[in-house]
Structure 1
Amino acid sequence: MYKITVLPEGPEILSQPGKNLMEILRGAGVFVDNPCNGKGMCGKCKIKHLKGSLPPVSPGEDSFLSDEEKHRGVRLSCLVEPRSDLTIELVQKEKKHEVLTTGYLPEFKVQPAIWKKTFSLAPPTLENQMPYEDIFVQATRGDYDWRLLQHLPSGPGTCTAVYSGNRLIGIEKGDTTDQLYGLAVDIGTTTVVIALIDLVSGRELGTEAMINAQKNYGLDVLTRVTYAQEHPEEGRKQLQAAIVDSLNEMMEMLCTRYQVDPDKIYEITVAANCTMLHLLLRVDAVSLGKSPYAPIFTRSKDLPAGDIGLKASPGARLYCLPSVSAYIGADIVAGAYVAELSKQKGNVLFIDIGTNGEIVLSHQGRLLSCSCAAGPALEGMNISAGMRAAHGAIEDVKITPSGIELKVIGDEEPVGLCGSGILAVVRELLLHGFMRKEGALIKRETLPAEDYRHNLLVAEGNKRSVLLSGTPPIAITQGDVRQVQLAKGAILSGFYALLSKAGITMDELDKVIIAGQFGAHLPAESLIGTGILPRGLEEKIIYIGNSSKTGAYIALMSVEAREEMEHLAREMDYMELSASEGYERLFVDCLAFPVK
């Protein structure tokens, strides 16, 4: 057995031989970035080897490590197995992340599923020895679980009955009608947002957000599904525990901050993509990762929150919003409801841009949807200097003849590029003629020495890049541009495919609604400048923020809205792009960048 010591503040881990270092760290709860789920394809899981024996650098590692990194002892944790006790240092430190928690809120009828009423227990007498249960049943007139009798006081006085619809879910001593709380939750692939709601007033007391803890098992849905498939005994259990433990932790933080008793939280509503809902409920998600992509379920779910380990009121309910298909999940149903797509007049295009680009077109009262595989590039993954939107991430770039201006989250020294920064760089490269419409960076030797672009272009052999910052060196490579190009082609082709199906053109669009964590940070100039949206739509773009969390909030506050969301999910048509005639040609055409 080997002892692995993790610096600067990590644990000492005991492990049997035969496991790679990333598996060992992940098993101990130590996070190492791994977009490819340990397949040796992304080069992100770097650690610094300080003491102990590791095998020599393999060709697979060598392609991801610079000479300077190899000299410092940097290795890829997924490609090395310890040969003795080890001391290592984590190269990437967790940073404070910027998470969007707000969004546009439409009007809706307020009528929560959860409600309370008081009742009195009259004292029995020798002449009338009616059991307290019978008194309670007469007073509450609701279906109930016998275990509620464990909370019924054996004496006279005022009690409060807690209902979910017509279902009795709790009995409390005294009058607690002023204490009625719920949680609205948005579970994204990358981030999780939870809001504590006062169900009496409808007021949001506060929010908590964190990175989805399932990141330890892969940074996108497919790598997490693959992990569950490759670990049939423990995979689903581990993925469920990661998200449930996070929700319980955030719930405890909110309750402590706002002095709310967790036993007074009676309902939790969740909007998430279809895969995240399967993993939350520990339902097999393997079918979502392979053709024909048929999910186990898409309907809404209403179940006891305690069934999956959520630590709220003993009778608390968990409501999961409905999905449409494997890749149009409850988060998009929530967004379509918040954007009021079914009520829109004219032609409206809705998009939530992330690892997948989910698109909904509202045309003459009909909702048509599709999902395009944008890939992780737009969230900073699969990019050589990519990272999430955390402190130190470059989020905007301006290139001028006098130099490069960087906008960095947290006003810190730059350490990498997040998604909005990556698009900003590509926008600027196109604007200033660093690249051609097919995506190739120009050659440095074609420029005169006095051209300001000359010193920004870097060539190492056949590899070209543009240097953005020198300490540490941050550049965007030709390979990075190709990743963005594939994402751009996927999204734009999805737009055109939906419009073609409806028989309309881009010029006939009245609005383009951008939703989601990532979309909110994309200015129109980046969307248009990189060609994700065609020119001419600048004045039609509307941002509605985190519509997934807003939809979860509305579902918490309105039974009628739930029914409308369920109807919307049933009525929304889904278009499988890969099965559409001529889609491959359309995708190739959409790869071209706009150039002046």
Structure 2
Amino acid sequence: MTSQKGWSRKYYLELEPPTEEDNRPDGQRILEALETREELKGYRLRMRPAALREAYPLCRESGWKITAVLGYDGDGFTVTRLEAGDTRKEHYALCADLGSTTMVMRLLCMNDGSVKAETSVFNPQAARGEDILTRIFYVKDRPDRLEEMRRAVTAGFAELLEKLEKISGIPLAGCSALVVAGNTAMIHFLLGLDPFCVFQTPYAVRTLDPGVWPASELGIGIDGFVYCFPGRANYLGGDIISGVIAAGIADREGISVFLDIGTNGELVIGNRDFLIAGAGAAGPALEGGVVRTGMRAEPGAVDRVEIREGEIRIHTISEEPPRGICGSGIVDLLAQLFLNGWMDFRGKLVEGASPRICRYEGEPAVEYAPGLFFCQNDIDEFIKTKAAAGTMVEYMMGLLGITLEDVDRFYVAGAFGTHISKESGIAVGLYPDMDRSRLILPGNTSLEGAAKLLLDLSLLRKTGQILECMEYVQFGAVDDFLHLMTAAQAVPHTDFRRYPTVLQELERRGHPLGERPA
């Protein structure tokens, strides 16, 4: 009935009641019954005091027919709760993506792996800074502020649990496992560790492998344990390792590229024989922070743009009046500007190409919606971001002596990759121009990897193997990285031969030759 491979397990026990001849303590009686289960052999078993307190009345009231709820504690399994009768059909556990902008939590049925509910909240820490660097400086050498930010994270988890309970109708306090994936800084915040070391040379962080913690010690309202995915380096956190697990990169013979772009860009290239990873600053141009009218992907955000017959046509989330533009809208807008000749290959707006091209606060801009402008400086910031991401891939593939032809799958991960159009991403040079079937936008791989691990404890060993074999490159330490970026600071690239389908589309549209690089 119930899967016994995951971090949370349930066992139905029919115990013999005590007699004068067999007066073993209740706790011992329960643990010895569990020790006979094949899936638990070799594990150390123990019982939480709270569960032990439940044992005396519960066993007698239920006729010694009980269900033991167990959670993996890093060393073995701990009985976190006892329930009367056979409750194996109601077996649930949790996984979460602890993002700096958005926190996402999923409720899984441990019997069949099905998703019972999923929800998200904006990270409450954002009240002290939209970007994570602002938060890091906010708490530096201020234990009181560090505790404030730790509590903000736990408040986010409390809100997620409350929302999941409301959606599913399932009480979640009895869950014995929560697997969390997050970047190195966010895990430091969760544990109450000063994250300034993540940012400051020599980047000797407080921990890369925090392991398993009692949920109560972290202030998270479940009975069981919380596991935090390990990271590889200060800028390559557990969210990326979780993504590698989700994508199955280390299980295949073919070479995969795994790219996640945000304020930092994280990259992994490899297969079952090797893994090389790197990270570096990419820029927040797709997160709304540096764009004057940028915003999160929430109601009123422009998320799709098309230019038809010289007119800009937009779509907003929830079809509400436009209030700003989010990442997918930015990429669509710039792709359409370029393909329609309103922006040249240098990323410069072509004044006079359309009445929508104007000047706003002293610089060229495009009015993409009434009263909403995307300025030249915004475009310049985007080009730096996409150039950094492209250069990371190019540099790493150069180190390995491979080309795109050698790549079996190219993953663009995260919410960033989920919502951005492949064609728009290719048109502006954010994605490589390759067979679209090999360009994969897998969604929130941080959450998917956490779910995969939650359901299969044996993947913990795989996680360790990935970290052990993974070579790491800090792009900020590459001497000529900024020089290499120069070639990528064009739309889509200074070498148009790398983007044949974009060139074909420009020619189909009659794009003036003078606006293309030679």
1:324 aligns with 2:235: no
Tell me what 1:143 maps to.
Answer: 46
Tell me what 1:437 maps to.
Answer: 345
Per-residue Cα deviation, 1:279-305 (whole angstroms, up to 9, x for no partner) = 111122110112232322112511211
Higher helix share: 2
The one-letter code sitting in structure 1 at the alignment partner of 2:67 is T
* Cα pair 1:380 1:422 within 8 Å, conserved: no
1:466 aligns with 2:329: no
State the 1:365 CA deviation.
Answer: 2.6
* Cα pair 1:193 1:209 within 8 Å, conserved: yes
Tell me what 1:192 maps to.
Answer: 103
SS at match of 1:378: coil
State the 1:549 CA deviation.
Answer: 0.9
State the 1:246 CA deviation.
Answer: 1.7
* Cα pair 1:363 1:502 within 8 Å, conserved: no
Q: CA, structure 1 residues 152+480, in 2 after alignment: closer, same or farther (shift >3 Å)?
A: same
SS at match of 2:367: strand
SS at match of 1:559: coil
* Cα pair 1:183 1:197 within 8 Å, conserved: yes
For 2:419 and 2:4, the matched residues in 1 are separated by 31
1:160 aligns with 2:67: yes
The one-letter code sitting in structure 1 at the alignment partner of 2:356 is L
Tell me what 1:419 maps to.
Answer: 327
For 2:391 and 2:9, the matched residues in 1 are separated by 47
Q: CA, structure 1 residues 127+362, in 2 after alignment: closer, same or farther (shift >3 Å)?
A: closer
SS at match of 1:404: strand
SS at match of 1:262: coil
Per-residue Cα deviation, 1:380-434 (whole angstroms, up to 9, x for no partner) = 2210111111111111222234311112211122111111111222212222223
The one-letter code sitting in structure 2 at the alignment partner of 1:430 is F
Per-residue Cα deviation, 1:32-51 (whole angstroms, up to 9, x for no partner) = xxxxxxxxxxxxxxxxxxxx
Counterparts of residues 396-411 of structure 1 (less than 5 Å): 396-411=304-319
Give the one of 365, 374, 378 matched to 1:480.
378
Per-residue Cα deviation, 1:214-247 (whole angstroms, up to 9, x for no partner) = 11121222112111116x1322211111121121
Please, which runs of 5 or more residues in structure 2 have no aligned partner? 36-44, 493-514
For 2:131 and 2:31, the matched residues in 1 are separated by 49
The one-letter code sitting in structure 2 at the alignment partner of 1:455 is P
State the 1:525 CA deviation.
Answer: 1.6
For 2:83 and 2:334, the matched residues in 1 are separated by 62
SS at match of 1:257: helix
Tell me what 1:535 maps to.
Answer: 433
1:258 aligns with 2:258: no
- Range with bigger deviation, 131-140 or 554-563: 131-140
Give the one of 383, 391, 407 matched to 1:493.
391
For 2:4 and 2:14, the matched residues in 1 are separated by 28
SS at match of 1:528: helix
Tell me what 1:222 maps to.
Answer: 133
Per-residue Cα deviation, 1:15-56 (whole angstroms, up to 9, x for no partner) = xxxxxxxxxxxxxxxxxxxxxxxxxxxxxxxxxxxxxxxxxx
The one-letter code sitting in structure 2 at the alignment partner of 1:394 is V
* Cα pair 2:312 2:368 within 8 Å, conserved: yes
Query: Normalized against structure 2, the TM-score is what?
Result: 0.86
Measured on the aligned residues, the alpha-carbon RMSD in Å equals 2.3
* Cα pair 1:303 1:319 within 8 Å, conserved: yes
For 1:365 and 1:227, the matched residues in 2 are separated by 42
SS at match of 2:289: coil
Tell me what 2:497 maps to.
Answer: none
Per-residue Cα deviation, 1:260-313 (whole angstroms, up to 9, x for no partner) = 233431111111111111111112211011223232211251121111111112
Give the one of 417, 421, 441 matched to 1:523.
421
Per-residue Cα deviation, 1:416-459 (whole angstroms, up to 9, x for no partner) = 111111122221222222333333323x3xx4xxxxx2412212
For 1:362 and 1:373, the matched residues in 2 are separated by 22
* Cα pair 1:370 1:574 within 8 Å, conserved: yes
For 2:186 and 2:22, the matched residues in 1 are separated by 55
Counterparts of residues 573-588 of structure 1 (less than 5 Å): 573-588=471-486
State the 1:588 CA deviation.
Answer: 2.1
* Cα pair 2:260 2:413 within 8 Å, conserved: yes
Counterparts of residues 23-62 of structure 1 (less than 5 Å): none
Q: CA, structure 1 residues 257+411, in 2 after alignment: closer, same or farther (shift >3 Å)?
A: closer
For 1:304 and 1:269, the matched residues in 2 are separated by 12
* Cα pair 2:360 2:373 within 8 Å, conserved: no
* Cα pair 1:511 1:542 within 8 Å, conserved: yes
Tell me what 2:300 maps to.
Answer: 392
State the 1:179 CA deviation.
Answer: 2.9
The one-letter code sitting in structure 1 at the alignment partner of 2:446 is S
SS at match of 2:285: helix
Please, which runs of 5 or more residues in structure 1 have no aligned partner? 1-108, 448-452
Q: CA, structure 1 residues 177+364, in 2 after alignment: closer, same or farther (shift >3 Å)?
A: closer
For 1:460 and 1:478, the matched residues in 2 are separated by 9
Tell me what 1:248 maps to.
Answer: 158
The one-letter code sitting in structure 2 at the alignment partner of 1:531 is G
Per-residue Cα deviation, 1:463-512 (whole angstroms, up to 9, x for no partner) = 11111222xx0111111111101111111111111111111223433321
SS at match of 1:284: coil
State the 1:128 CA deviation.
Answer: 6.3
SS at match of 1:295: coil
For 1:306 and 1:427, the matched residues in 2 are separated by 49
1:178 aligns with 2:80: no
For 2:29 and 2:361, the matched residues in 1 are separated by 86
The one-letter code sitting in structure 2 at the alignment partner of 1:209 is S
Q: CA, structure 1 residues 455+168, in 2 after alignment: closer, same or farther (shift >3 Å)?
A: closer
- Range with bigger deviation, 352-361 or 112-121: 112-121
Tell me what 1:356 maps to.
Answer: 264
For 1:191 and 1:573, the matched residues in 2 are separated by 29
State the 1:113 CA deviation.
Answer: 2.6
For 2:291 and 2:266, the matched residues in 1 are separated by 22
Q: CA, structure 1 residues 128+272, in 2 after alignment: closer, same or farther (shift >3 Å)?
A: closer
SS at match of 2:359: strand
* Cα pair 2:211 2:228 within 8 Å, conserved: yes
SS at match of 1:194: strand
The one-letter code sitting in structure 2 at the alignment partner of 1:115 is R
Tell me what 1:61 maps to.
Answer: none
Q: CA, structure 1 residues 255+295, in 2 after alignment: closer, same or farther (shift >3 Å)?
A: same
State the 1:147 CA deviation.
Answer: 5.0
1:301 aligns with 2:195: no
* Cα pair 1:300 1:323 within 8 Å, conserved: no
Counterparts of residues 115-154 of structure 1 (less than 5 Å): 115-120=9-14, 122-125=16-19, 130-141=24-35, 142-154=45-57
* Cα pair 1:179 1:264 within 8 Å, conserved: no
Q: CA, structure 1 residues 123+571, in 2 after alignment: closer, same or farther (shift >3 Å)?
A: same
Q: CA, structure 1 residues 402+274, in 2 after alignment: closer, same or farther (shift >3 Å)?
A: same
For 1:127 and 1:520, the matched residues in 2 are separated by 64
Q: CA, structure 1 residues 337+135, in 2 after alignment: closer, same or farther (shift >3 Å)?
A: closer
Q: CA, structure 1 residues 461+507, in 2 after alignment: closer, same or farther (shift >3 Å)?
A: same
